[in-house]
Structure 1
Amino acid sequence: MAKTTHIAVISIPAFSHQASIIEFCKRLIDLHHHIHVTCIVPTIDTPLPTTLTLLKSLPSNIHHTFLPPINKQDLPQEAPSAVQIQLAVSQSMPSLRIALESLLSTTLLHALIVDPFANEALEIAKEFNLLSYIYFPPSAMTLSLFLHLPVLHQQVSCEYKDHKQAIQIPGCVPIQGQDLPQHLQDRSSLAYKLILDRCKRLSLANGFLVNSFTKIEEDSQRALEKHNNKVYLIGPVIQTGPSEESKGLECVRWLENQRPKSVLYVSFGSGGTLSQQQLNELAFGLELSGEKFLWVLKAPSASSDGAYVGAYNDDPLQFLPHGFLERTKGNSFVVTSWAPQAQILSHISTGGFLTHCGWNSALESIVLGVPMIAWPLFAEQKMNAILLSEGLKVALRPKFNENGIVEREEIAKVIKGVMFGEEGNEIRARIEKLKDAAADAFKEDGSSIVALHQFVTQMENFM
């Protein structure tokens, strides 16, 4: 009988990251029953309700503990959500050290697995002589950028958006500087400094667990393995969630009454928000397309990631164009809170996905074989959109006008293109092949299963 192996994981106060690392832990212990996990969760003000729901479904050998909350009022109010989250995590490091000391007093802890935006914990792991790994929720392409950023910072002296030549990230398709992550676009900003510091700290990790799989990022994987041979592509790890929770939802019942592949699912993820002007154009574009849609609607915000740390009490429906719901009645279903994304994407009635290109959402769409409209908002989403539309060719991208707005006619055009056009049919054929490849990755000898076994073997060989 295998001896128990204890590991601790630390995430950040953003649901998409928390959901991903928790699903990874569930998959890990499903394969290796002797592993026990303690999830350490930093918080801002209070734990996220969606996180509390997710934690209730954990198996018995995954435990969790919340670090003392950071007061949101103690964070710079004008800072972007990503900066607030990173500063909150930094302020939580003394509490993490205490939590680890407490854990080590009762448990033979073998390793610490940390989110890339909580990687100050790598230094604490060294203090306690623990193995440490980065669990990387985004793509292998983004990890390659993060590892390359200190070099890129030296090579390029101007703002990246002003750099004339395409930027070559090792193992990735060349991209323009303006398509690098949002918070790299102002090199004098605190956001850039925080990310650069975290990228420099990645070398402290003993290895990297990446939420991707070989078939979609083979070139990036090869480049990463040249940098560090302990890189494990262990995805696609997606959130399936408790299905009982969504059975009686009205939006699911509405889907049951629609024709196969006839509904466009529209969601900008747990953090994404649009301006009022863009929300109006999207509404009119959906209406103009004449296609059926299920829209997860959030109140507008001046910040594209405004829903991450801000809770909006306003009813989102009041921000829709006058008469929109009446005019689209029968063709539409608008959800103003949480929606069971995996269940919606897997439903036979769903034929397309208008997405912000968060990596979790992109992987869910690939795993479930749903063609995409790629509409990136923030973080590394433009890079994901390039990979999806130009690299894998499983998404269409709408064009933004000179004011950074996607106009209603363009929206209607890409909706029709992905739902019924010839290009949409080609995308559907390609994503079906990737769906099969994603399933193959988790067969007994699949690439991701092999990678998970290699990770556990190499970790335990260090013990």
Structure 2
Amino acid sequence: MQITKPHAVLLASPGMGHLIPVLELGKRLVTHQDFHVTVFVVAVDVSGENISKLLDSSSEHLDVLMLPTVDISGIVDPDENFVIKIVVTMHESLSAIRSAICGMKIRPTALIVDLFGTEAMAIADELEMLKYVFIASNAWFLAATIYGPAVDKKVLDDEHINQKKPLKIPGCTPIRFEDTLEAFLDPNDPLYHGYLSVGRVIPTADGILVNTWEDLESKTLRALKDDKLLGCVARTTVYPIGPLARAVEAVAENQVLEWLDMQPTESVIYVSFGSGGTLPSKQMMELAWGLEQSQQRFIWVVRPPLENDVSGSFLTVGNGPVGTVDYLPNGFMNRTHNVGLVVPMWAPQAQILEHPSVGAFLSHCGWNSTLESIVSGVPMIAWPLYAEQKMNATMLTEEIGMSVRSRELPTERIVEREEIEMMVRRVMVMDKERHAMKNKVKELKNSALKASSKGGSSYNSLSQLTKDCENRFQCLKVKAEGG
């Protein structure tokens, strides 16, 4: 088999939040940087998403392959934290990853892993491949992840966790305790020590790819590159290569899009908590009433609620009634049938956000959803549930100014219908506040397009990474040809 171009292996850990950006990175390496790419998918969360279509992304120079499923039922409890399940799944998949790479006719140039795949970097070392970490979230999240292990234990454990003081990150916006990562909350939790270990390993890569761009996070990116601030922690090159957002592709005969076609421009608020967001049953009732009282058109993607929870959850299947109508207020569907559309489990989100009839997005603030909202120019209601979503919500609302949020975190108390009604009207009714949010997100949309286009900051950043890989590729080519 003749070697004609650099070959990168991308490793996607379980969950749509990881698979989507990894696939988009693979496509960009193929189309913009002339790579051959193989994406190994360890496992996929199948909670309502159209997984099969995503996995059918193979093309001439892009191969998407599912690795053998691993059984972790005898290792972790079924009710264990989903992050622990992902970590264990990735660990148990290492032998399959190594075998798959060794089974290739030509040794790949580079291995690119996501946050949960850092253990696999040892395979890259063994096989003389370049190794990179791809952070599918933003630069602020990366800064927190690599700075956590470097900060004095007294500062992290005593001041931030026990005294609930903000975590100060050099050159970056401090992280308020209420926005902090769940992994930082309990020093006695295995997740705490595991996460700090990952934070120590990430800077040992040949480079760190981040799903952001210069104009969006210039302050944090400067800190990550400054040896006097966070550069001493990163110790490697940081490549901002975003936004990597799901492409808008044609969807045949979809009732949601057909319904949108009949609505006025920017008249609909889209409500979705991603492929894994689940609300408690009482909160779902309040959200229904709030949408109804706002008198705004809406599309609402619903999942069965959690009956015995007060805060909501992520990547947790609800235990409420099976039928959609059973967990909404009596008569809700009849009263709102002219202005609203309730969709069970899944909807074509990228296409919905891009539709001219959509005027706002009530979201859990997962980074994929956030980027899809930005590149579609749609303001948001921030409703964070888990992981770095609270940090994202703060960034979107207080720093960027393209969203509104509830007075208190939805994970701390039930957000009542009156406040929901108010938030919906703030992002949907054209006044000075909505006008400012709309202008800001339009500005970001344009800067995102510019960054990703030829000659833009993210395009150039990915090109620089390509040069590193090409140098190694030439060495492998000479070696393979007996030079």
TM-score (norm 1): 0.93
Check 1:309–1:50 CA distance in 2 against 1; reply closer, same or farther (3 A cut): farther
Of 298, 301, 309, 1:296 maps to: 301
1:16 CA displacement: 1.7
Q: Distance in 1 between matches of 2:118 and 2:47?
A: 20
Q: Is 1:442–2:459 an aligned residue pair? A: no
1:387 CA displacement: 0.8
Q: Secondary structure at the match of 2:148?
A: helix
Deviations 1:400-454 (A, max 9, x none): 3895211111111111111114212111111111111111112221111111111
Moved more, 330-339 or 145-154: 145-154
Q: Distance in 2 between matches of 1:214 and 1:264?
A: 29
1:236 CA displacement: 0.5
Q: Distance in 2 between matches of 1:88 and 1:313?
A: 30
Q: Is 1:407–2:406 an aligned residue pair? A: no
Check 1:114–1:189 CA distance in 2 against 1; reply closer, same or farther (3 A cut): same
Structure 2 equivalent of residue 119 of structure 1: 118
Question: 1:262 touches 1:419 (CA, 8 Å); kept in 2?
Answer: yes
Q: Distance in 1 between matches of 2:100 and 2:319?
A: 28
Question: 1:293 touches 1:332 (CA, 8 Å); kept in 2?
Answer: yes
Deviations 1:213-243 (A, max 9, x none): 1111001111112324521111101012542
Q: Secondary structure at the match of 2:359?
A: strand
Q: Is 1:263–2:282 an aligned residue pair? A: no
TM-score (norm 2): 0.89
Q: Which amino acid aligns with 2:428?
A: M
1:67-106 to 2 correspondence within 5 Å? Answer: 67-71=67-71, 73-74=73-74, 75-103=76-104, 106=105
1:162 CA displacement: 3.5
Structure 1 equivalent of residue 435 of structure 2: 425
Deviations 1:370-390 (A, max 9, x none): 011111000100000111111
Moved more, 195-204 or 330-339: 195-204
Q: Distance in 1 between matches of 2:170 and 2:37?
A: 33
Q: Which amino acid aligns with 2:421?
A: A
1:368 CA displacement: 0.9
1:2 CA displacement: 9.2
Deviations 1:289-326 (A, max 9, x none): 11111001111134844446889993344211221111
Question: 2:9 touches 2:111 (CA, 8 Å); kept in 1?
Answer: yes
Q: Is 1:345–2:353 an aligned residue pair? A: yes
Question: 1:44 touches 1:71 (CA, 8 Å); kept in 2?
Answer: no
Q: Is 1:287–2:297 an aligned residue pair? A: no
Q: Which amino acid aligns with 1:256?
A: D
1:328 CA displacement: 1.2
Q: Secondary structure at the match of 2:158?
A: coil
Moved over 6 A (4+): 44-49, 309-313
User: RMSD over aligned Cα, in angstroms?
Assistant: 2.3
Check 1:119–1:304 CA distance in 2 against 1; reply closer, same or farther (3 A cut): farther
1:142-291 to 2 correspondence within 5 Å? Answer: 142-152=141-151, 154=153, 155-158=155-158, 160-226=160-226, 227=231, 228=235, 230-240=237-247, 242-243=249-250, 246-291=251-296
Moved more, 393-402 or 289-298: 393-402
Question: 1:159 touches 1:185 (CA, 8 Å); kept in 2?
Answer: no
Q: Distance in 1 between matches of 2:57 and 2:256?
A: 23
Q: Distance in 2 between matches of 1:400 and 1:382?
A: 11
Percent identity of the aligned residues?
36
Corresponding pairs, count: 458
Q: Which amino acid aligns with 2:449?
A: A
Question: 1:389 touches 1:397 (CA, 8 Å); kept in 2?
Answer: yes
Check 1:115–1:47 CA distance in 2 against 1; reply closer, same or farther (3 A cut): farther
Question: 2:6 touches 2:469 (CA, 8 Å); kept in 1?
Answer: no
Q: Secondary structure at the match of 2:133?
A: strand
Q: Distance in 1 between matches of 2:92 and 2:36?
A: 27
Check 1:310–1:418 CA distance in 2 against 1; reply closer, same or farther (3 A cut): closer
Q: Which amino acid aligns with 2:138?
A: S
Deviations 1:265-293 (A, max 9, x none): 00111111111111111111111111111
Question: 2:305 touches 2:319 (CA, 8 Å); kept in 1?
Answer: no
Q: Secondary structure at the match of 1:296?
A: strand
Question: 2:305 touches 2:320 (CA, 8 Å); kept in 1?
Answer: no
Q: Secondary structure at the match of 2:196?
A: helix
Check 1:225–1:214 CA distance in 2 against 1; reply closer, same or farther (3 A cut): same
Of 315, 334, 344, 1:336 maps to: 344
Question: 2:304 touches 2:319 (CA, 8 Å); kept in 1?
Answer: no
Question: 2:139 touches 2:210 (CA, 8 Å); kept in 1?
Answer: yes
1:31 CA displacement: 1.0
1:131-142 to 2 correspondence within 5 Å? Answer: 131-142=130-141
Q: Secondary structure at the match of 1:39?
A: strand
Q: Distance in 2 between matches of 1:311 and 1:197?
A: 34
Deviations 1:227-268 (A, max 9, x none): 24521111101012542xx23111111111111111000011
Q: Which amino acid aligns with 2:86?
A: I
Deviations 1:55-83 (A, max 9, x none): 21332211122222123533321212122
Q: Secondary structure at the match of 1:209?
A: strand
Moved more, 337-346 or 48-57: 48-57
In structure 2, the gaps of 5 or more residues are 474-483
In structure 1, the gaps of 5 or more residues are none
1:190 CA displacement: 2.4
Q: Distance in 2 between matches of 1:250 and 1:341?
A: 13
Check 1:2–1:97 CA distance in 2 against 1; reply closer, same or farther (3 A cut): closer
